[in-house]
Structures are given as structure tokens and as C-alpha cells.
Structure 1
Amino acid sequence: MKRDKSYVLAILIPFLLMGFVETSIAQRNQTFTVVLDPGHGGRDPGAVGAISKEKDIVLSIAKKVGKKINANHSDVKVVYTRSTDKFVPLIERPRIAHKAKAQLFISLHCNALDRRRTSPQGVETYILGLHRSDDNLEVAKKENSVIEYEENYETKYQGFNPNEPESYIIFEFMSNKFLEQSLDFATLTQHELVNGAKRTNRNVRQAGFLVLRETGMPSVLIELGYISNRAEEKYLNSEQGQNTLANSIYNAFTEYKKEYDKRNKYAISGNADQEATSDSNLYASDSSDSSSQTEYKIQFLTAPRKYNAGSRVFKGLDNVEYYIDGNTYKYTYGSSKDEQSLYPLLREVKTKFRDAFIVEFRNGRRIK
């Protein structure tokens, strides 16, 4: 049955906001909860390769990621949408995250192409948004088609049809308050998968995934590789391959959690192993004026690469500086010896970068 699009939008938009309030309250608590969502399961095998099924690969890797987080982050609670081979309705997965008051949602999948087509290989990390290419739309259709395993899915999902491009118009009207944080984690994840696991880079992308649409927290969907590619399927099923992929996701999580703690002032002061750096491609600070004093700056962006001065990613901010923390470039704006004097500028920067916060340097080193 066809529905008027304005009617569908009116029904869906309140549902999109579900969980935002309770998540904001949870973020004031010190315990961090991450939800790991192995896609498919039970009667839904996901993509099927020559020797394996998507549902089994992603469950195994999710457990490996969770095990590493539990072993190394005592303040983190790991929640799984499924820990066995069982079918979990797509709509129930974000509800599990809302109930857990999670701060991060990670959905794991494998990609595939029709067997009549030559399959590529490589990793993609998706955030919620309107698809910008036919390829992105096809991936979203494939992952969203899981709802067809559910009874009365047309009623449950308010007339959404995963196979009709018109259904995806809803994503054009969405304003995801967690988009920047989702992009931060997606960028870190893609960087680790490409540089750590040495997988082919198919970039960070946007598409309309139902499972991400319903989450009220930063969220990503990771396509770990093409099960339709014989060589990559073999890698995805190997112990070494799964461990390497799990390590990459874990490393991205650790970096994201570190920044989350700093933003929420849970980090321990006195970490002096991060040097402030300037470069001819960015605007240099007057190091002679700050090398022996306390200096405050506004950190607004982290990325696995160095951007040139005037890059569009800075959204018009000039005189940007950066420092390097491990393999991550962290970009700052403004400088003052008095933290409070930066507050008006911080409010201005937050209109462009919602998660901007003030960091402290002493003798040219980041300490807080």
C-alpha cells in the first residue's frame, strides 16, 4: 500500500528522536557503555560466501573486540545485541543500546556482490546519512533487507520498503546530533583497518541504514570485507584475519574513548607525552612565548592525517595548529594564558564543532 510521504515523515520523525534524552543523561556518568552489534543471525545468514556466512564471521569478530575491551578498560561495559547464533529483529538492536544507556554503537557486517559480478575487496565504515552514490544505496538496501525476515515489517517500520529508493528520502530530512562524533569514530576505525590491518581502503561513507537511524548515540556500521571475494573470504575466516580486524577496531575504540574521557574531564592530569607541533602548511604559534608557561587552546578536531591551512574541514577557522598523539593529528584553535578568557571563543567554535573543548599545555606539552 502506498502512503503519502508527508504522513510517513510525520510518523517517523518523533521515532528518530527516541533515546536522545536518556543517552545525554547517561553521558554524565563515568561508566562508558559500548554496544557491539554483530549483524544478522539465526534464520538470517546475511551474505553467503563460498565457504561461510556473514552472521558467523561478524559474531566471532565482535566477541574478540569485546574481550579486548573488557581486558583493558575496567571502566567500560560491553553489551552485545546478540552473543549467540540467534535472530534479533533490526528494530530491537538500537533498543538494546538505549536500554543500556550506551555511549557508542558499533554494528559489524560483511559486504557482498552478486556472484555474476566481479567482487572487489576492502573495508568501508558507514555513518548515517543520505547515500551519495548508487553503490552506497545498494549496501544500505542489502543490510536493511533483514527486516523482511520479520512479521508485519511494513507496519512495524511505518511503510519503509528497503528495496524502494523513495523510502530513503527520510534520511535527507534528518539532523543527527551525533554526526560529528560518529564521523570521528568512523575515521579512526577506517584508519586502523587500512593502516593497521592493511586492508584495501574503500573510505568512510554515508548511507541510510535503519539500524543507525534508530540509535540515540554515536554509531557506525563497519563492512569488514567482501565475503563474495574468494581471497577476502578466506582472510575473514582465518584466525589471524579476525584477530587483526578485531585489534584494529579495538585500537580505534581506545583512541575514541581517550578523547571522550578528556572531553568529559575524566582523564588523569599530568600526561605529558604529547608535544604541540606546528608546520609550514598550518599557522605556527609563537613557541618562544609559551614554551615555559601554561597555555590553553581549543581542540576541535582529530584526524588520522594532516590537513593544509585553509582546508574546508576547518569550516573557515584560520590560524589552526595541531599536535600529534600517537598516529593521530589533533587540531587546535586560539590560545591564551587564561582558560576563562577562551570561553567566548569556545562558544563560537562549538557552533561549527559541537565537541570542541579546552586543552592545557605546559612547556609546550599537552597535560590535560
Structure 2
Amino acid sequence: MQIQENNKINIKAKIIFILFFAVSFLMASSSMLAQKKYVIVLDAGHGGKDPGNLGNGYREKNIALKVALEVGKALSKNKEIKVLFTRKKDVFVDLWKRGDIANNAKADLFVSIHCDSHTSNAYGAGTFVLGLRGNKKNLEIAKRENAAIFLEDNFKDRYKGFDKNSAESVIGLSLLQEENLDKSLAIASLIQNNFAFKLKRNDRKVKQDNFQVLRETIMPSVLVELGFLTNKKEGRFLNSKKGQEQMGRAITDAVLKYVNNLKLNTITSESTIENTVEYKVQIASGKNKIPTNPYNFKGLKEIERVAVGKYFKYYYGNNSDYNQVKRSLKIAKTKGFTSAFIVAFKNGEKISVTQAIKMQ
């Protein structure tokens, strides 16, 4: 009888231990998930000696800063988000340094906030992502926002060859930034929809063009034009506390939704058991349809050409092993394709390399 009771006690003790271990594991797992911080960098355009545009006597640098601080204050209430600013007061910050702040912080998103101007009575809010090409009007906007380059102390060295009037200098898209284009377009659409449908602002759409501050970043990034200070009615709205709070809230809600989508994608990718992942080295892209013969690609063999819209992308070293594709990348670079980079696909759809590695 005593033996049976001792066995019962031992079984109860084991059950309690197992339950304790399970609860501890779940708590630890929850804690690990909670520790993930989504880093959002808010960039108030212009500042200090660079006032931005001065439509109707308003100062773009001041309005941009107030809206950025509104957004930062709201986002900081979310425990899963860490907010950083490129500036929190009226100081001049080099365009390259704004990007460096985000890059060094390994940010998940970069949002640059500005106000627009025009010689006409134009009005409305627009959101930009970095793009391959823009129309003449967008080029003029990019030139205005990029003008801060020439206020930097060492701009001649840092931006050697840059010509503010040249479309070739002003319009461009690095290979790494192209990787982030889909996510940039996603957050841009969320912001723009809030402006257009929630606040009923005139919808100037999501557009692509080259802003130097976006070129400096290596994560999804957008540049927001809140509206036109040169339009009297819109200028008054943007200069008012009510206007700044409303525009700030529209950006905040979009960022929160974007972060939530990132979380869902992370959970989905981590819970996927079977994944067909392949890596490739992208060595070139452009509008020209080039035969994939080795002599056209400095001796590289088995080049794959894929049509994407009006463009063609050229891949080398298709492999399911990440270490093998890294060797292919090294070979491509030694052949002279110095801008080559690794891309990843799951079941034929492009995904981030980081996500692909996690899946495997």
C-alpha cells in the first residue's frame, strides 16, 4: 500500500514538473517573440540652414518636424516598435547621414516627411518610392528635395559626378533597393489610401522617382509629400495643429498596419514546413533583350533571362544551396559584375534572402 502511494506521489511530481516545464517554455517563447522590435526611422525633411520650401511664408522644415514628432509619439506607445528620428529639432542633417542612421539601426522602415510647392495652385498629398524612371513633373520634385546635397560641406567628394539637372544622375535604382521595392510600394499604398479615403485629401497617388535620401537607405522606404504650402488653403491646414495631427495619424495608422503585416508574414514563414527555395545571382537588368551566350556575359555560362514587364533580368548560378550560390556570386564579381547580388525564390515567387534562409 505504501509503495502504491509513493508511486502516485512520484507520478504527481512528474506531472507537475512537466507542466511547469511546458509553462516555462511557453512563457520563454512568448518573451522571445515579444522581444522583436520593429525599428521605424522617421525623417523630418530639411532643417537648420535648409528651410525647405517657404510657400505662403510657411516653413517646410518646421511642419515636417512637427508631423514626424506626432507620428513618433504615437508609434512609441506600441511596445513592439522602436522609433528613431534623423532629427528631433531644427538642425541640418546631411542626406547621406539620414540614410546612415537608418542603415546602422538595421531599420525595418524609413519614412521621410516633406511638404510640396508649385507655381500653380496645385494641392493634395502624394507618396513616393524610389523608382527607375519618373516623368518630368516628378523629376522637378526630386530636384527640389535633392537640392540639400549642395548645402553639405563635402558634397563634391561624396556626390562626385552628380548633376542636379541630369535625369541620369537624378533617376536611378540600386540593385539592393530594388529588392525592397515591393515592400516600399506596400507601405506607400497604405499611407496614400489613408490620405485619400480617411482624410479626403486630394489623391496625388503613389509615384516612383529618385530622391537622394531614399537612395541612401537599404530598407523599405518612402517619401511623403503632405501637401502644397504654396496653396493657401492647404498651407493653412498643414501649418495648423489639427492638420498636423490628422496627417500624422494617417501615417501612424499605415505604419501600424504595415508592421502587423510583417508580423503575419514572419509567423507564416516560420510555421512553413516544406519550402521549395532556390537562389540565383542577379548580374544585370535592363530593357535590352540580350542572347544568353557566354560571350555576352564575360564567359559566364547557363545564364537565365527573365522578362519582368518591359525589362529583362539576367540570373546566374541557380542553386538550392545558399553556400553554393555565394560562390557563384564571388565568381560573377571577379568577372566584373561588381553590382551582382543574390536573390531568392520560393515556388517561383521572389522572396527576401533572409526569409529564404530562415525557411531552410
TM-score of the two chains, using structure 2 as the length reference: 0.65
Q: Are 2:177 and 2:217, in contact at CA under 8 Å, matched by a contact in 1?
A: no
What is the correspondence of 1:94-243 to structure 2 with a 5 Å cutoff? 94-113=99-118, 117-168=119-170, 170-171=172-173, 176-243=178-245
Q: Distance in 2 between matches of 1:175 and 1:246?
A: 26
Q: Distance in 2 between matches of 1:144 and 1:255?
A: 30
Q: Distance in 2 between matches of 1:175 and 1:85?
A: 29
What is the correspondence of 1:61-72 to structure 2 with a 5 Å cutoff? 61-71=67-77
What is the correspondence of 1:1-368 to structure 2 with a 5 Å cutoff? 30-71=36-77, 73-113=78-118, 117-168=119-170, 170-171=172-173, 176-265=178-267, 347-351=346-350
Instruction: State the secondary structure of the residue aligned to 1:106.
Output: strand
Q: Distance in 2 between matches of 1:70 and 1:172?
A: 31
CA drift at 1:205: 0.2
Instruction: State the secondary structure of the residue aligned to 2:235.
Output: helix
Q: Distance in 2 between matches of 1:37 and 1:242?
A: 15
Q: Are 2:177 and 2:215, in contact at CA under 8 Å, matched by a contact in 1?
A: no
Larger Rg: 2
Task: Tell me how many residue pairs correspond in the alignment.
Answer: 250
Q: Are 2:40 and 2:81, in contact at CA under 8 Å, matched by a contact in 1?
A: yes
Instruction: State the secondary structure of the residue aligned to 1:84.
Output: coil
- Aligned sequence identity (%): 39
CA drift at 1:105: 0.2
Q: Are 1:130 and 1:168, in contact at CA under 8 Å, matched by a contact in 2?
A: no
Q: Are 2:177 and 2:219, in contact at CA under 8 Å, matched by a contact in 1?
A: no
Instruction: State the secondary structure of the residue aligned to 2:115.
Output: strand
CA drift at 1:171: 3.4
Instruction: State the secondary structure of the residue aligned to 1:85.
Output: coil
Change (3 A) 1:83 1:266: farther
Q: Distance in 1 between matches of 2:133 and 2:51?
A: 25
Look up the equivalent residue of 2:94 and give its one-letter code: P
Q: Are 2:133 and 2:171, in contact at CA under 8 Å, matched by a contact in 1?
A: no
CA drift at 1:110: 0.4
Q: Are 2:134 and 2:171, in contact at CA under 8 Å, matched by a contact in 1?
A: no
CA drift at 1:155: 1.5
Q: Distance in 2 between matches of 1:120 and 1:234?
A: 14
CA drift at 1:197: 1.6
Q: Distance in 2 between matches of 1:86 and 1:227?
A: 21
CA drift at 1:170: 3.7
Instruction: State the secondary structure of the residue aligned to 2:129.
Output: strand
CA drift at 1:168: 2.9
Greater than 6 Å deviation, 4+ residue runs: none
Change (3 A) 1:173 1:158: farther
Look up the equivalent residue of 2:199 and give its one-letter code: A
Instruction: State the secondary structure of the residue aligned to 2:179.
Output: coil
Change (3 A) 1:131 1:174: farther
1:136-165 CA distance string (max 9 Å, x none): 101110100111111231221122122322
Q: Distance in 2 between matches of 1:354 and 1:173?
A: 13
CA drift at 1:200: 0.3
Structure with more of its chain in helix, by fraction: 2
Change (3 A) 1:172 1:138: farther
Instruction: State the secondary structure of the residue aligned to 1:43.
Output: coil
Q: Distance in 1 between matches of 2:175 and 2:70?
A: 37
Q: Distance in 1 between matches of 2:89 and 2:170?
A: 31
Gaps of 5+ in 1: 1-28, 270-311, 314-345, 358-368
CA drift at 1:99: 1.6
Q: Distance in 1 between matches of 2:233 and 2:105?
A: 38
Q: Are 1:129 and 1:172, in contact at CA under 8 Å, matched by a contact in 2?
A: no
Q: Are 1:124 and 1:203, in contact at CA under 8 Å, matched by a contact in 2?
A: yes
Gaps of 5+ in 2: 1-34, 272-307, 310-344, 356-360
Q: Distance in 1 between matches of 2:202 and 2:136?
A: 20
Q: Distance in 2 between matches of 1:55 and 1:62?
A: 11
RMSD: 2.7
Change (3 A) 1:133 1:173: farther
TM-score of the two chains, using structure 1 as the length reference: 0.64
CA drift at 1:349: 4.9
Instruction: State the secondary structure of the residue aligned to 1:176.
Output: helix
